[in-house]
Structures are given as structure tokens and as C-alpha cells.
Structure 1
């Protein structure tokens, strides 16, 4: 295309200690009754109190909702939306991982709409979002999803995933404080980190990429590549945690504006059918999808190699694109994520259903630099099962 449309969340605070801006921002609204949507584990270990206690001390009526589950199914979204409608809340805070934030913005918007969430799904819904909804503040406690700066809410269906997507789902305020990520366990740090990396990589090779999204994506890749292994090894490493939070934020801005493509399209059915965390679903597919589409974006993959810290030297773009795939495989291995579908106990018999569900993700597949049809998708899943990168015949 000859021009690009760029959309960014209206206001963001990023950096160590950014959570201190929560109360001043809430005071800008006339809201008195506030819904905090958070992960149950965050309430259990007391981290949620960093949000709720200052609000309660100021006299706000705060209700904490902890009915959040990883990869939330449609029924969970329906339940929260109904709870929000009945509660007559005036502001919503999403505090936690991507699931908590996705559910919070869904609740904030659909609280002022009629009908079930199902009617607003991208693939099958018939209703349109027409009103902004309640003010919403999103605060990630992991470095990976980018949900705090995107306009989608992802929900699991029976065998795949779908989204509710509209610019009204964008946060009014995003607060990205790496101090909140220090207690995240290594496995979740790894999964969310590779999720962020995938966002940046797919944004950079997207057919909708622009100079702006390119700059965001490449710098995100640099920050994640230099810090993810450190953050997994030592969660108290302040610089690594800061880099990961900032890198995830930049990757979120990049993929919101350029879009993700084949990796996400094929990851959705894996998460839907086998309930594998989204970041791990992306991680296991990333090298295989990138290898398959390599010939359509060799120059950009050479750029990604350099951003990953790989030594391009005197390699040609073709050679560098192969090395880029090797670097992605190494990254996934180094942070302890399985590199084959079998590593997640996904049987070969599941590949046909995965393929039939993957091909339905046309909204996402349309951004791939190499058009991916049913036969291509089947080959990529087979490649990920066999553990051997491949290319089109």
C-alpha cells in the first residue's frame, strides 16, 4: 500500500516505578466504583494489593474480580461481561497477564452493549461495537502479550480461538512497570518473552509493515534478544526485566499497527485444542513458519538476524535468512520451550484438525508475505511435528 494508518494507545507510562501514576490517572475520572480484573495468583500472593490498596485508601469502592483463567474460553468472557453490566461500574482496571487485560477491556466495552459476547466475535459475530464503553486502565505484570496497547480480546472456542476487535478496546491508559514482572516464574517469562519476540518478527515481515512499525519491531527484537535469556535465568535482573517490558511494549505497538501473520494463525488452533499457553504455541511454530515463508522475505529475515545479535558478516541475504531460522530455533531451545509439537504431547493424528482450523484464520493469514493455503498449513504443522524445517516444493 502507498500509505499507512498508525494508531497508538492515547497515554502510556513505561519504566521502573510507572505504577505510581495509577492514582493520579484515576483521579482524572469521576469514577467512584472500580472493577479490577486480575489473575487469582496475583491476589493470592499479594501483588494485586499494589493496585487495590491505594485506591481503597482514597475511598474508592473497589471490586476485585479473579475469575481469570489462561487462554480464557468464551464462557469466561460472557460471565465477566454480565458481571460488569450488573455491577454498574464506572472504570475498569486490567492487572495481570494478557488474559486479564483482554478480559478487562472486553468487559469495559461490552458492558454498555447488549447481547452476548459471541455476537461480537470476528469470525462469526453479526453485531458491531458502537460505543466506547467504560474508561479502562491496563497494567501488564508479564512482558509479552502487548495487550495493553492493542484493540483485541482473544477468546478460546472449542477447537480454536477468535477475537473481539475494535479500536474502542484500546486502553485509555497503559502502565508498563517492569518491577511488576520480577516475580514471574522462568517458564512464564520464557513463554511471554518469545510471544513478544514473535509479535516483533511477524510485524516486521507483515505485508502491512511501515517505516514506523519497522523501527518499533527491530528495536523490540534487539531488546528482547539481549535480555530474554537473562530474565529467564535470573528474574531479579533489573536491566533484563526492564528491557523485556520495554521490548514487549514496542513489539505490541509494532504488531498492532502492522499485524501478525502465519505463526499466530497456526498457534490459535494449538491453544484452542490443547490449551497450550499462547506464548508456547507461538514459540514452537515460529522457526517452522519463518523457514517456510523464507523466500518471500529474505532481506527482512537478514535484518532480523542482525537484530537478534547474529553475525551476518559477509553472508548473502539468502544465507543470512537461513541463519535467522537457526537463531530463532536456538532462542526457543535456550529458554527451555519444546521445539516440536510432540514435545507438547500433540499427536500426529491432530494435524488434520489443526489444519482445518488454521485455514479459517484468514484475517491473520492475509498479512503473510507468502500466501498460506491449506496445503501449506498442513506442511508447516507436519514440519513442526517432525522437527525438521522445510520450504514449499
Structure 2
């Protein structure tokens, strides 16, 4: 009988209005000098003020850091790490999408380590995270990345991505308030929502899946499938926003414990080489990867179909797995995300370099129920470029 290691963040407040728990949580720590990491847009629209204002009113020294960009390059992370080390901060709070949260985690932990963050990267680093770092509170404003519950900070390199990963990067407190997602525009809602769905789908078919991660993954798929279209169509739909926020959080727990695989492995080079948003990278690849590996996990594909709102009871497992891929294709299309690499202006000439970089993501590829060779990866990218789901030649 296999043994599963399950890890969850120490404390989470989740629900509409849960941001009110921020000040009481900060007051539990003996800190005065706080760094708040966010992106410039959230500062511009005043959303960051909902974090900084109550802290300042209660006597805390607060520095707002807004030099955050999507898919942050390693250099952006290094700059924030240096800023944090020099600032004498005692706590880091991240508010925003996955990029802001990943950078906040990185800054909090690296503040108590020596050397550049590059030394701690998974693929090329030579050092290991050892110290807990500064206390950190993470507050997502999108429903998608799951960064608030994972131990990973993703950084873009020249042509791909790498991560700093260790349980010390886990948030001390996560606050998941769906009210903060209402202002997210439709395209970002769609991309981050499919990102969350991908977390759940990949966690469910992962070779590291367990009964616990299975339950989380299927419930996340149910919540996202019933609410994503509504949230994209009407961002003020409170129940849709709540469902998406909860679904994203649960999907984060699922994939943190079971892992993601082929979709994410192939998405990383799209972000690295073409700066395609991570959610859109996952979305455009999801049907093609799942279609390619379908035959390695037909029963689980049938379960996913049911969680998506389909009905596998009158189908064979093979028929249900095909239907599952069709439902994933339909959902991506319905929320307005392009369905081929060509539609993202990615040239066919790039498929070889994408394949080369995708094959390097061995940490992710190891979790795929179908081992993906370099030839398999090349075929998946090709099918995503042409818009035709393909399968391995047996």
C-alpha cells in the first residue's frame, strides 16, 4: 500500500469578506516594519490600500513595493530580494495574482539566506533553502494560481522557467477573499480560471494522486466548471466569484499534494520564450495534452467528465475519455481563449525550441500517467499549433 505525504498551509481564512482577518493575524506577530508586495495596477485602483490602510492606522510601518510584472523574470526576483534584505523588514505580505504572491514568498525566505536567488533554483541552483524566513501572509486577488497554498516561487529565465521550492515558502497565513476578485477583467478571469482547472485535472491524473488529493481535485473541477463561464460573463456575479475562489483554493491544495505534469511542463517554455501568460499557456495546451495521454488514464478521464457536468454512465471508459477532452475544449473556447498556438502568433519554426525546453521540465514530467518523451512533446506542440488533438502511435 502506497504512503502519501500531505502538506497544507498552517492557516487559511476563506470566504467573502475574510480580508477583515488581516489585522488580527498581523497582531499575533511581534513586528512593526512590514513590506507589502503587489503589482502597480492593484496600487493604482486602490485595492492595495485595503491592506496597507488598516495597518498604517494601527501604527505599523508599511512599505508598498509595486515593481511586479507578470511572469516575473529572475532579475525582478533578485531585485526584490535585495530590497527586502536592505529594508530591515520583519514581515512580508503579498497581495495580487500569482506573480506577486510568488515574489512575496521568495523575498520573505531569501531575506534570511545568503547569495542570489539564482543559487536556489531547482534546475540549476547549487544551494538549498534552510531557514524559515520572515513571516508571510498571502492574499490572492485572482482565482487561479493557487500560489497562496503552495511552496513554489516561479521565475522566468531566457527561454523557459524555473522554481525555488521548499516548504519554508508556504504562507504562514493565507486569506482567500472572493470579494477581491470582482474587479478582475474577463480575459484574466478566464485565463486564471482555466489555470485552476488545469491544476485540478492534472492533480487527479497524477501518478502521485491520493484519495485526499482526488477528493480535492474533483470538487475543484465541479466548482470551476459550474462557475467559470458565469464569472467571465458577469464579474459581479457573487456566487460565481465565490465558487471560483473556493475552487481555485481547493485546486491549489490538490496540485500541491499530487503535483501537475505535462500541461505545465509544456506551458513553461511558452511563457519563457513568448511571454504568454501562464493561464493562457495552460489553457491552449490543456485539451492537447489530455487528449494525448487520454488512453493512459481512461477511468480518471471519465471521472473528470462527470465533474465537468457530463455523464459517463452510458459510455465506455474510452468513449468517456474522448468526451472529456471535448468538454475541456468547449470550456476553453466558451471563455474566449484562443485554441491554437498559431492564434497566439507563435510560429511553427519555434516548435523545436519549445520541445527542447519542455523536455527539460523533468520534475513536472515525472508525474504524467503517460511518460512523455521528447518525440511525444514535439507531437503535442505540433497538434496544438495545428488545432488537432492527436494520440501516440502505438
- Name the CA distance, whole Å, in 1 between partners of 2:3 and 2:129: 26
Please name the residue that 2:156 is paired with. Answer: 156
Deviation by residue 1:38-57 (Cα, 9 ceiling, x = unmatched): 01100001111100000000
Following superposition, the deviation at residue 220 of structure 1 comes to 0.1
Please name the residue that 2:75 is paired with. Answer: 75
Is residue 376 of structure 1 aligned with residue 382 of structure 2? Answer: no
Compute the RMSD of aligned alpha carbons: 0.5
Q: Classify the secondary structure of the residue corresponding to 2:153.
A: strand
Please name the residue that 1:2 is paired with. Answer: 2
- Name the CA distance, whole Å, in 1 between partners of 2:368 and 2:313: 28
Please name the residue that 2:291 is paired with. Answer: 291
Please name the residue that 2:37 is paired with. Answer: 37
- Name the CA distance, whole Å, in 2 between partners of 1:184 and 1:311: 32
- Name the CA distance, whole Å, in 2 between partners of 1:373 and 1:121: 24
Following superposition, the deviation at residue 279 of structure 1 comes to 0.2
Please name the residue that 1:61 is paired with. Answer: 61
Deviation by residue 1:210-233 (Cα, 9 ceiling, x = unmatched): 000000000000000000000000
Describe how 1:190-205 pairs up with structure 2 within 5 A: 190-205=190-205
Please name the residue that 1:230 is paired with. Answer: 230
- Name the CA distance, whole Å, in 2 between partners of 1:260 and 1:202: 5
TM-score (norm 2): 0.99
Deviation by residue 1:202-250 (Cα, 9 ceiling, x = unmatched): 0000000000000000000000000000000000000000000000000
- Name the CA distance, whole Å, in 1 between partners of 2:358 and 2:76: 23
Q: Classify the secondary structure of the residue corresponding to 1:67.
A: coil
Q: Classify the secondary structure of the residue corresponding to 1:164.
A: strand
Following superposition, the deviation at residue 312 of structure 1 comes to 2.0
Deviation by residue 1:65-116 (Cα, 9 ceiling, x = unmatched): 0000000000000000000000010000000000000000000000000001
Q: Classify the secondary structure of the residue corresponding to 2:67.
A: coil
TM-score (norm 1): 1.00
Please name the residue that 1:142 is paired with. Answer: 142
Q: In the comparison of the two structures, how many residue pairs are matched? A: 393
- Name the CA distance, whole Å, in 2 between partners of 1:156 and 1:375: 24
Please name the residue that 2:132 is paired with. Answer: 132
> Structure 1, unaligned stretches of length 5 or more?
none
Q: Classify the secondary structure of the residue corresponding to 1:314.
A: coil
Please name the residue that 1:364 is paired with. Answer: 364
Following superposition, the deviation at residue 311 of structure 1 comes to 2.4
Following superposition, the deviation at residue 310 of structure 1 comes to 1.1
Deviation by residue 1:292-324 (Cα, 9 ceiling, x = unmatched): 001100000000000000122410111000000
Q: Classify the secondary structure of the residue corresponding to 1:293.
A: helix
Is residue 258 of structure 1 aligned with residue 258 of structure 2? Answer: yes
- Name the CA distance, whole Å, in 1 between partners of 2:73 and 2:39: 15
- Name the CA distance, whole Å, in 2 between partners of 1:241 and 1:116: 38
- Name the CA distance, whole Å, in 2 between partners of 1:126 and 1:83: 23
- Name the CA distance, whole Å, in 1 between partners of 2:88 and 2:343: 46
Deviation by residue 1:172-231 (Cα, 9 ceiling, x = unmatched): 000000000000000000000000000000000000000000000000000000000000
- Name the CA distance, whole Å, in 2 between partners of 1:311 and 1:273: 39
Please name the residue that 1:333 is paired with. Answer: 333
Q: Classify the secondary structure of the residue corresponding to 1:42.
A: helix
- Name the CA distance, whole Å, in 2 between partners of 1:99 and 1:372: 28
> Structure 2, unaligned stretches of length 5 or more?
none
- Name the CA distance, whole Å, in 2 between partners of 1:140 and 1:338: 25
Q: Classify the secondary structure of the residue corresponding to 2:93.
A: strand
Q: Classify the secondary structure of the residue corresponding to 1:28.
A: coil
Q: Classify the secondary structure of the residue corresponding to 1:193.
A: helix
Please name the residue that 2:206 is paired with. Answer: 206
Please name the residue that 1:282 is paired with. Answer: 282
Q: Classify the secondary structure of the residue corresponding to 2:133.
A: coil
Describe how 1:78-117 pairs up with structure 2 within 5 A: 78-117=78-117
- Name the CA distance, whole Å, in 2 between partners of 1:293 and 1:88: 49
